[in-house]
Amino acid sequence: MASLRKQTSKAGKVSYLVDFRDPQGKRLKKCFPNKTDAKAFLCKVLEARTGVLPWQP
């Protein structure tokens, strides 16, 4: 499974974290500066894993 989370640094900077697992089961994380890019990446991860696009970014 994969997830999208919003995180805020101590300095107040907002970023979005995509947390997912590769085909071998290894947990991976990738940060993005905006939600649009994070959602687009999450869609690619989910589509590659299931073959179905869950929503449009």
Q: How many structural domains comprise the chain?
A: 1
| pTM, two decimal places | 0.79
In this predicted structure, what is the pLDDT of residue 16? Answer: 98
10-residue averages of pLDDT along the chain (57 residues): 92 96 90 96 85 60
What local confidence, expressed as pLDDT, does residue 56 receive?
A: 55
Q: Is residue 22 part of a domain?
A: yes
CB under 8 A, 24+ apart: contacts of 42-47: 42/2, 42/4, 42/18, 45/2, 45/18, 45/20, 46/2
36 located within any domain:
yes
Would you state the pLDDT for residue 9? Answer: 94
pLDDT of 25 = 86
What pLDDT score was predicted for residue 11?
A: 96
Question: Which residue range is the domain that position 25 belongs to?
Answer: 3-50
